[in-house]
Amino acid sequence: MQLTPKQIEVFRCFAKENPKILICSGAKRSGKTFILDYVFLSHIAKFEGKGLSFILGGSTQASIRRNVLDDLEKILGKELKLDKTNAIEIFGNKIYCFDGANADAWKKVRGFTAAGAFLNEATALHDTFVKEVISRCSYPGARIIMDTNPENPMHTVKVDYIDKTGQRLEDGQLNIKAFNFTLDDNVFLSCEYIESIKLSTPSGMFYDRDILGQWVSGEGVVYKDFNQNKHFIRRCDIPTKEITSYFCGVDWGYEHYGSIVLIGEASGTYYLIKEIAKQHQEIDFWVEEALKIKKDYGSIPFYCDSARPEHVRRFKREGLWAINADKAVLSGIEVVAKLFKQDKFYIVEDVKRFKEEIFMYVWNEHSGEPVKLWDDVLDSIRYAIYSKSKGSNFKFK
């Protein structure tokens, strides 16, 4: 088994100092989860054959399988099948898998006495679940390990645990130890891959988090890589003959602007072809505008804000291909921002509302998300592109 210098440092800490809570945070693809797989297995092995309970927590059962169980199978060289209690057996002990993203997820681990826990993607878990799991690790010698990507610096995982790295108990036992990973810590990644990722990662918060592994808030405008001298194009310069698909994003509004955007895609490059942005319009207006688009471009998907389900149903009754959009904020923004960074998203220059919003769309440093102003057309764009990128092309019913 080959490990990076940073992974070796983590394992040596676990073996020699044996902290009660061990955390690896930092950049994506930096090797933090992989080393904690070994740490977790090593900890379980200490109790071989004792029939004890351990906790494996993740955002969803699917993410637990994808992020942890698949690698554990490779390390152990055997298939790990969940039983009826969502548990697997390793070294004569039971490891119970819990999805912990919801507010009431903590109830699932009530009554447990665990000898250890591995919390994957800790910032994606609900704070009460994290605290409940830690409280359940009361068996003598129990240890808790966590991995996570960075988020807002005021997140409870950072404030309550990472910021307390080096903390010791009265008897001198190391209580908390945190390690920070950067992309460059993964020395097994090719130089070409690292260079490509760095060049394609949006500037600002996303680069600081995903590449440098820093816990930072966003500052200034959200789309830092948008360049009006480059990304605005004339309508006559849109390569209409090369566009292979069209799709729309819809953000409902009344006092604030409602909007529909029409986007075309040509070989992975996107073009904002049309925006409709109005205040004080009822659903009849939006149906009429959507039907005009359908008449001109055929039955194309409309990725809609799910906050107004009655409007989505109305679109469907009118024969429109209406789909509830995936509204994930940061993930959606990152996808759009990456397109600007890579010069793969262009805006027809005769838009009006987009021009008003793009430089006014800024980060809220306290919440870690954009300020809910100047975001109507930009929300429509995010709904459309992010949903399209995830392949959310459900059949019209």
CATH of domain 228-389: 3.30.420.280
43-95 tens-digit pLDDT = 999 999 999 999 999 999 999 999 999 999 999 999 999 999 999 999 999 99
5-185 with 228-389: one CATH topology? no
CA angle 378, 383, 384 (to 5 degrees): 100
Cite the beta strand spans of the chain per DSSP E: 21-26, 53-58, 87-90, 93-99, 116-119, 143-148, 176-181, 232-233, 245-251, 258-266, 269-278, 301-304, 321-324, 345-348
Residue 25: beta bridge partners? 148, 180
331-352 tens-digit pLDDT = 999 999 999 999 999 999 999 9
User: What is the arithmetic mean of pLDDT over 303-323?
Assistant: 97
104-159 tens-digit pLDDT = 999 989 888 999 999 999 999 999 999 999 999 999 999 999 999 999 898 999 99
Sole residue written with tokens 């995830």? 390
Instruction: Supply the pTM of this predicted model.
Output: 0.83
Find, among 164, 200, 104, 143, the residue nearest to 19 by Cα.
Answer: 143
391 pLDDT band, cuts 50/70/90, is confident
CA angle 42, 48, 51 (to 5 degrees): 125
* Architecture field, domain 5-185: 3-Layer(aba) Sandwich (3.40)
Domains in the chain: boundaries: 5-185, 228-389
